[in-house]
Amino acid sequence: MKTSTLSMRILHRYLGFFLVGIMAVYAISGLVLIFRETDFLKTKTTETHKIKPNVDALNLGKELNMKRYQFEKQEGDIIYFRNGDYNKKTGVAHITKSELPYVLNQMTRLHKATTDDPLYWLNIFFGVSLLFFVISAFWMYRPKTKAFKAGLIYSLAGVVLTLVMLFV
């Protein structure tokens, strides 16, 4: 076997073993994230917050530090918003939150890490590693073998399916 082919196969193999844990986390959290707009696997908790009275409906989300504040209606002194209510007279707000269990929440947090999170370097390393897997897979078999030619056909089918899913 050629040196580059052997090196590529060895790197592919050991990097694959090394990344087993993180691949499992990304697979599980990716599946969970599909249902992020639903209450699947989530538990609901209601929190009570005391803020200043007479906050208007437009500024209520900012006052409560809610990222996805959405005003619904107002009845007398009660302002109803998505997942809660606020009493203008007393300044008491009730917010219902739906949260994943701790372990799944940590997994999805890792999956969605941005440059504001120190874990984003792990995401970059993982992304580059996956790209390496894509490229190094073509060094697994000699180009003249049946397995390699079949692999090219499957690769082409996978690329076509991906393009269809992206653009159709």
Residue pair 38/50 in contact by the 8 Å Cβ criterion: no
What is the DSSP pairing of strand 43-50 with strand 71-75?
unpaired
Percent of the chain at pLDDT above 90?
Answer: 89
Rg for the chain, CA atoms, rounded: 25
Last residue of a domain, one of 99, 121, 143: 99
Separation of alpha carbons 132 and 63, rounded Å: 46
Last residue of a domain, one of 72, 99, 126: 99
Q: What is the pLDDT of residues 81-107, one digit of tens each?
A: 999 999 999 999 999 999 999 999 999
* 3-class secondary-structure state, position 103: helix
Q: What is the pLDDT of residues 109-153, one digit of tens each?
A: 999 999 999 889 999 999 999 999 999 999 888 889 999 999 999
| Sign of CA pseudo-dihedral 107, 108, 112, 114 | negative
Write out the residue range of the structural domain in which residue 77 sits: 43-99
Q: Are residues 78 and 131 in the same domain?
A: no
Per-residue tokens: 66: 């809610």
Domain total in the chain: 2
